[in-house]
């Protein structure tokens, strides 16, 4: 039971959800401990759908801590993602990727992100990677990006006139191969750019809808724009510190685009 339940809000659909999904970032910029997550999930676990180990951070965790975190997520109906570590693994060959999937299973991961921000992957290999993840019993969640080097530290991307046909093609390839969801990398689109490439976002949504897409939006103006533009059902990836603010926006609890208007207190 939530506090002040007599106040009407637009509650999210129950989990598991296919839309209005929120993925949160785990340890990377700051360490996220099991104790912190236990307290966070008590408050906001109902609003979190996926927990992501960003930047391969699980490689720096003790194995028993990874398992503890993953089981804690499952206790709250939250899927666990490897994040975009796949591209680092692939630099060590196909055998390393097979071992990676075995380890992900043994550590009770649910989602494997297939990213290529730092490497090039042939179209045929993109298909095979999705199929390999599915064969392992895990959910393939490929990432598509406008720029190479996405995920690194860049002052500013020059992307105002950069073509994005490759992104549309990649989404089509991944979905036809059986991808579960598609992650859209923010760098070059809404992150580290002078002008947001909203044309790319609109083209992706128009062609593929919102249920199969998830957008990185770990900045307040960005996730607000997504909800204001596409409605509360858009799937978003944010930082763990932003879960309450985003949920307040999704449910109409707070921060509407327009004021609520005039009200009266005096009883008739």
Q: How many domains does the chain have?
A: 1
**Per-residue pLDDT at 116:** 86
Residue 266 lies in a domain: no
Instruction: Name the band, by pLDDT with cuts 50, 70 and 90, for residue 158.
Output: confident
Q: Do the domain assignments include residue 258?
A: no
| Structural domain includes residue 262 | no
Mean pLDDT of 106-125: 94
Tell me, yes or no, whether 182 lies in a domain.
yes
Q: CA-CA distance, 53 to 59, in Å (whole number)?
A: 9
In a domain, 230, yes or no: yes
Section 224-240 average pLDDT: 97
- Choose the weakest-confidence range: 20-29, 71-80, 153-162, 192-201: 153-162
Q: What is the mean pLDDT of the chain?
A: 95
Report, as an integer, the average pLDDT of 188-217. 96
Summarize the confidence of residues 42-66 as an average pLDDT.
97
pLDDT of amino acid 149:
75
pLDDT at 154: 62
pLDDT in tens, 55-88: 999 999 999 999 999 999 999 999 999 998 999 9
Specify the CATH number for the domain of residue 220: 3.20.20.70
The answer to whether residue 87 sits within a structural domain is yes
How large is the angle between the packed helices 243-251 and 220-230, nearest 10 degrees?
20
Sign of the C-alpha dihedral, residues 128, 133, 139, 140? Answer: negative
**Domain range enclosing 148:** 22-251
Q: Which residue has the tokens 């990676």?
A: 100
Q: What is the pLDDT of residue 68?
A: 98
In a domain, 267, yes or no: no
266: pLDDT strictly greater than 60: yes
pTM (whole model) above 0.85: yes
Predicted pLDDT at 85: 93
Please indicate, yes or no, if residue 268 is contained in any of the structural domains: no
pLDDT, mean of residues 234-247: 97
Least confident of 120-134, 176-190, 210-224, 252-266: 252-266
**Using an 8 Å Cβ cutoff, are 35 and 28 in contact?**
no
What's the CA angle centered on 243, arms 85 and 227, to 5 degrees?
Answer: 95
Which of 81, 151, 92, 149 is closest to 120 using CA atoms?
A: 149
């Amino acid at each position: 039971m939530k506090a002040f339940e007599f106040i009407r809000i637009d509650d999210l659909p129950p989990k598991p959800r296919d839309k209005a999904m929120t993925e949160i970032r785990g340890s990377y910029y700051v360490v996220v401990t099991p104790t912190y997550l236990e307290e966070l999930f008590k408050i906001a676990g109902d609003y979190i759908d996926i927990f992501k180990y960003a930047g391969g951070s699980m490689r720096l965790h003790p194995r028993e801590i990874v398992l503890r975190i993953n089981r804690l997520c499952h206790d709250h109906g939250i899927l666990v993602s490897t994040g975009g570590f796949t591209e680092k693994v692939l630099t060590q060959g196909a055998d390393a990727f097979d071992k990676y999937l075995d380890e992900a299973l043994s550590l009770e991961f649910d989602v494997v992100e297939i990213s290529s921000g730092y490497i090039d992957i042939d179209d045929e290999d993109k298909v095979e990677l999705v199929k390999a993840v599915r064969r392992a019993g895990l959910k393939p969640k490929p990432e598509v990006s406008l720029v190479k080097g996405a995920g690194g530290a860049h002052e500013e991307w020059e992307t105002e006139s950069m073509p994005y046909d490759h992104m549309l093609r990649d989404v089509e390839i991944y979905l036809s191969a059986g991808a579960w969801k598609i992650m859209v990398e923010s760098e070059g689109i809404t992150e580290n750019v002078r002008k947001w490439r909203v044309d790319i976002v609109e083209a992706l949504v128009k062609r593929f809808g919102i249920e199969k897409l998830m957008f990185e939006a770990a900045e307040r103006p960005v996730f607000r724009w997504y909800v204001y533009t596409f409605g509360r059902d858009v799937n978003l990836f944010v930082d763990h510190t932003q879960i309450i603010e985003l949920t307040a926006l999704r449910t109409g609890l707070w921060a509407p685009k327009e004021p609520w208007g005039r009200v009266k207190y005096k009883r008739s």
